[in-house]
Structure 1
Amino acid sequence: MPPPDVSGADDLPLVVDLDGTLIKTDLLVETASSFLIEQPWRAGSLLGWLAAGRSTLKARLAQDTRVELASLPYNEELLAWLRAEKQRGRRLVLATASHQTLADGVAGHLGLFDEVLGSDAATNLKSHAKRDALVARYGERGYEYVGNDWPDVAIWRGAATAHVVSRSPRLIAAARQHGNLGRVMGDGRLSPLAGLLRAMRPHQWLKNLLVLMPLLAAHQYGDALSVMHALLALVVFSLTASSVYLLNDLVDVGDDRHHARKRRRPFASGQLSLAAGWLAWPLLLAAGAGLAALALPPRFLGALAVYFALTLGYSFRLKQVPVVDVLSLAALYTLRIVAGAFAVSVELSFWLLSFSMFVFLSLAFIKRYSELHAARQAGQSQPLRGRGYVQQDLELVSSLGSNAGYIAVLVLAFYIQDARTARLYAHPTLIWLACPLMLYWISRAWLIAHRGQMHDDPIVFALKDRVSWVVGALLAGVFVLARAL
């Protein structure tokens, strides 16, 4: 097909890159990530395909994986401009190093492009290869090009106008050197460090304070070595938990893009590359396990291994099984307490473990109830995406969750009567005051959930809720008084 005849700047085709430009992610990384999640036993195949060339790798991944193209994080600023240009009658061309099949899918979803050029099993349409293809098709300076990265510099050199989607001053300066700089738009991405820190969810590290509970419950806070071990266990669990958050978000990225709040997470929103997550989570896990192996008892390392194994099971399968999912979440919280006891070498308290299991089971049910309630309010009748619950489960989830919370208070009441409690506290009967406080807090949490005002993570809600902080302070005061008076 001969190159089209172009006679003026307004008639020049506007050629748009896909990865990192039209979308805030990279389809090669998206398909590779999907492949690893869906078929981890075939991970070695990626190296074989890569050895045969990037074109082969892209072709095989496009064939063996499924990416939901409609939910990808698109650059809305660029899309708005492209739609305006399309309305003016501009010819739009999608030219990408991604495989032709994926490029056709994106173009079909958007309905904007008159022509689509992509890679195939023989050609990787990137940098100079893309420039040569465009020049052969439209002539030197016969097109405008929208790109976002250093491989696009060669393409801008042959374009009539270079449009840049990036915040990098160096890249913008490189595009300007050719004297054809056009529009400059943001790419909507965070710096790798900022994005990674956000994805690690440092605010969630407060949950790991549970590893300090055995130290406090056994009143060993005067022992410097025990305190040091407990604090080190806190650091280890924070590193391990962050590695789990990264892996879980990589696994859940497709579902998160359909969630009202989770779609803003770094991986789902395209603010952070999936490749950074695949690199970071094993490093965080290795750092945590290494610290534990060097400085903490072997039993703690065993508990940490069980915790990580359970999180893997939860991420890949258990979260899709009703009731098993919330039991798994409650067990993950309780494992923090078990590991904390192993870290400071104190005897595990049956009452503390029982209380933890029931109270966190109640909170896990609140999490599922809030998701179901939000779906009902939004008029969604289908099952929760990525979960095993349907709308008919809403009332049962509420009943099971509130009952679990009240059983936790009953366990606390039984703890007061235990003989070991009498040895630990001067006036254990004062601990009875904790029961109405817990009853109030659990009842209030469920009341807020029923009103649809609960954050879908009740732990995050509690950390931001002033009343929860007041109740927590009063509970701490009750135990201090029972010990001191």
Structure 2
Amino acid sequence: MTVQITSPTIPLIVDLDGTLLRSDLLLETGMAFVRHKPLSLFKPFIWLTKGKVALKEGLAHATHIDVSVLPFDPAVIELIEVERRTGRTVVLATASHYSLAERIAEHLQLFDLVLASDSKRNLSAHRKRDLLVEHYSEQGFDYVGNSHDDVPVWAVARKAYVVNPESGVERGARAQGNVEQVIHSNPSRAKDWLKALRLHQWMKNALIFVPLMAAHQLTNPMLLWQGVLAFLFFGLCASSVYLLNDLLDLADDRHHHSKRHRPFAAGRLSIKSGLQLFPVLLVGAFSGAAWLLPWEFSGTLIAYYILTLAYSLSLKRQMAIDVIALAALYTLRIIAGAAAFGLELTFWILAFSMFMFLSLALVKRYAELREARRKGDTGKTRGRGYYPADLEMISSLGASSGYLAVMVLALYIHDQATTGLYAHPQVIWLACPLLLFWITRVWMLTHRGQMHDDPVVFAIRDRSSLVVGALFGLVFWVAA
């Protein structure tokens, strides 16, 4: 990026939300409030009845935002640093609350003065324009901004710097005739949305077809079509949950070694866009399910959504409850499949899935704690209910849970209903050593630090896991 250096006698005024910061502090504090005080959700609406100023002040005082991990725009910071080296005065002027702006200025050490909203004034649009004119006169400052609210400020500035403009903003700024530079440092990319929606996680929804396979009905075209619809609607619901979860977990994700690169945490996608999309996906999922599939499927989908929401807001921070909830979320996919196909679930499927998915949930926790121990952390892991010292216990619980799933499979072979369902039920015994090998390998790789945070994603990408999965399916095909 080429930075234009101007006269140091003219102050440079820099906006915060969407300009210096690839986020919006009002939405940041709003999501933090919902995350930590979900039972007080009515309070922001009460504050809003008193005006936007009261809302900003209430949220600023009711939440704690770690400004050190916020997604600042490096291109804007470079512009400020270059201008400061010329001796130029740089001012932070923002509609965000003064307490937050002051903490950001103290952290960055880039500003000579902070102008921000307080309990009496919302410093945005024409109010910001009037204050800057009062301080520096018309044409007495240069201004860096990004939004429609900044257009009236550019109208009285000497030069306009436009950063990652919202739709139509660049055109409005250029109409003023004083645009010095347009900075595109944070372009919207399709792959960011694909990552945020986590389409690769839709592979988990293949569990919906497990009841169909267990009932030997995979060749039934009508049931297969229902399965495809169930897969789609469950995926839309899951993606909606992923978006909401990422928005609620912004603070924790930014402190995580890998999750800090997620699109919302890194500021590549705006909180506003996520808040707009997640209800659309949710409505699409439930509308389609209610219209095209049995009501039992919709009921299971509601249970999945409620449990996921409870997990995001609270359960994920409760020791033991979190992994049981994760295992239940996997199992609910199988239950949803049975509901979509109108098939009965057997004791064996439910028992096997709970033990297996509990093991995988513990793999995920082990991988997180191992990384924390590697960094030398000894305290409770952020956003979780575990300590790095819990590693040995978690591995013991996880491996034993996986082996219990194998035992359930072995007992299933001798069930009377099984012998009537398969032509050669004794062949299923071959599936037991395959599953033992896979569980043992997964836990050994996890112990060595070679496991992805999500074991399901790992399995999809791991060649050995894919081979084991193919052989596992072949065993049941031969048995049938």
Matches within 5 A, 1:198-347: 198-347=195-344
User: Alpha carbons of 1:41 and 1:323: their partners in 2 closer, same or farther (altered >3 Å)?
Assistant: closer
1:326 maps to a residue whose letter is: V
1:184 maps to a residue whose letter is: V
Deviation at 1:41, TM superposition (A): 4.0
Query: Counterpart of 1:96 in 2: which secondary structure?
Result: strand
Contact 1:354–1:411 (8 Å) recurs in 2? yes
Of 113, 126, 147, 2:111 maps to: 113
Contact 1:365–1:397 (8 Å) recurs in 2? yes
Contact 1:99–1:118 (8 Å) recurs in 2? yes
Deviation at 1:240, TM superposition (A): 1.5
1:365 maps to a residue whose letter is: L
Could you tell me how far apart the structure 1 residues matched to 2:188 and 2:325 are?
33
Contact 1:20–1:187 (8 Å) recurs in 2? no
Query: Counterpart of 2:115 in 1: which secondary structure?
Result: strand
1:156 aligns with 2:154: yes
2:391 maps to a residue whose letter is: L
Could you tell me how far apart the structure 1 residues matched to 2:165 and 2:279 are?
29
Of 369, 373, 383, 2:370 maps to: 373
Matches within 5 A, 1:386-397: 386-397=383-394
Deviation at 1:173, TM superposition (A): 4.4
Contact 1:199–1:245 (8 Å) recurs in 2? yes
Query: Counterpart of 2:264 in 1: which secondary structure?
Result: helix
1:294 maps to a residue whose letter is: W
Could you tell me how far apart the structure 1 residues matched to 2:230 and 2:180 are?
54
1:383 aligns with 2:380: yes
Deviation at 1:65, TM superposition (A): 2.6
Could you tell me how far apart the structure 1 residues matched to 2:61 and 2:377 are?
32
Deviation at 1:197, TM superposition (A): 4.4
The answer for the alignment partner of 1:43 in structure 2 is 41
The answer for the alignment partner of 2:26 in structure 1 is 28
Deviation at 1:195, TM superposition (A): 4.8
Of 57, 60, 77, 2:58 maps to: 60
Could you tell me how far apart the structure 1 residues matched to 2:314 and 2:41 are?
19
Query: Counterpart of 2:8 in 1: which secondary structure?
Result: helix
1:410 aligns with 2:407: yes
Contact 1:416–1:428 (8 Å) recurs in 2? yes
Query: Counterpart of 2:22 in 1: which secondary structure?
Result: coil
TM-score, length-scaled by structure 1: 0.93
Of 98, 101, 112, 2:99 maps to: 101
Could you tell me how far apart the structure 2 residues matched to 1:464 and 1:161 are?
51
Range moving further from structure 2, 262-271 or 200-209: 262-271
The answer for the alignment partner of 1:4 in structure 2 is none
Deviation at 1:169, TM superposition (A): 8.4
Deviation at 1:86, TM superposition (A): 2.7
Could you tell me how far apart the structure 1 residues matched to 2:119 and 2:278 are?
32
1:66 maps to a residue whose letter is: H
Pairs aligned (count): 475
1:130 aligns with 2:128: yes
Q: Deviations over 1:279-337 (max 9, x none)?
A: 33333223222222223223322222222222122111111112211111111101111
TM-score, length-scaled by structure 2: 0.93
Deviation at 1:200, TM superposition (A): 1.8
Could you tell me how far apart the structure 2 residues matched to 1:286 and 1:153 are?
36
Deviation at 1:170, TM superposition (A): 4.9
The answer for the alignment partner of 2:77 in structure 1 is 79
Deviation at 1:456, TM superposition (A): 0.7
Could you tell me how far apart the structure 2 residues matched to 1:45 and 1:190 are?
33
Q: Structure 1: which 5+ runs fail to align? A: 1-7
1:25 maps to a residue whose letter is: S
Could you tell me how far apart the structure 2 residues matched to 1:55 and 1:464 are?
50
Could you tell me how far apart the structure 2 residues matched to 1:107 and 1:187 are?
21
2:10 maps to a residue whose letter is: L
1:316 maps to a residue whose letter is: L
Deviation at 1:34, TM superposition (A): 2.2
The answer for the alignment partner of 1:441 in structure 2 is 438
The answer for the alignment partner of 1:185 in structure 2 is 183
Deviation at 1:196, TM superposition (A): 4.5
Query: Counterpart of 1:55 in 2: which secondary structure?
Result: helix
Of 15, 18, 33, 1:17 maps to: 15
Range moving further from structure 2, 426-435 or 274-283: 274-283
Coordinate RMSD, CA, aligned:
2.0
Could you tell me how far apart the structure 1 residues matched to 2:225 and 2:167 are?
46
Q: Structure 2: which 5+ runs fail to align? A: 1-5
Range moving further from structure 2, 361-370 or 312-321: 312-321
Could you tell me how far apart the structure 2 residues matched to 1:379 and 1:80 are?
33
Could you tell me how far apart the structure 2 residues matched to 1:238 and 1:229 are?
14
2:128 maps to a residue whose letter is: K
Range moving further from structure 2, 131-140 or 209-218: 131-140
Could you tell me how far apart the structure 1 residues matched to 2:192 and 2:56 are?
26
Contact 2:423–2:479 (8 Å) recurs in 1? yes
1:241 maps to a residue whose letter is: A
Contact 1:189–1:272 (8 Å) recurs in 2? no
Could you tell me how far apart the structure 1 residues matched to 2:311 and 2:166 are?
39
Could you tell me how far apart the structure 1 residues matched to 2:273 and 2:35 are?
16
2:388 maps to a residue whose letter is: Q
The answer for the alignment partner of 1:480 in structure 2 is 477
Could you tell me how far apart the structure 2 residues matched to 1:413 and 1:186 are?
60
The answer for the alignment partner of 1:353 in structure 2 is 350
Could you tell me how far apart the structure 1 residues matched to 2:335 and 2:374 are?
39
Deviation at 1:16, TM superposition (A): 0.6
The answer for the alignment partner of 2:3 in structure 1 is none
Contact 1:249–1:267 (8 Å) recurs in 2? yes
Range moving further from structure 2, 208-217 or 26-35: 26-35
Could you tell me how far apart the structure 1 residues matched to 2:157 and 2:252 are?
39
Contact 2:8–2:86 (8 Å) recurs in 1? no
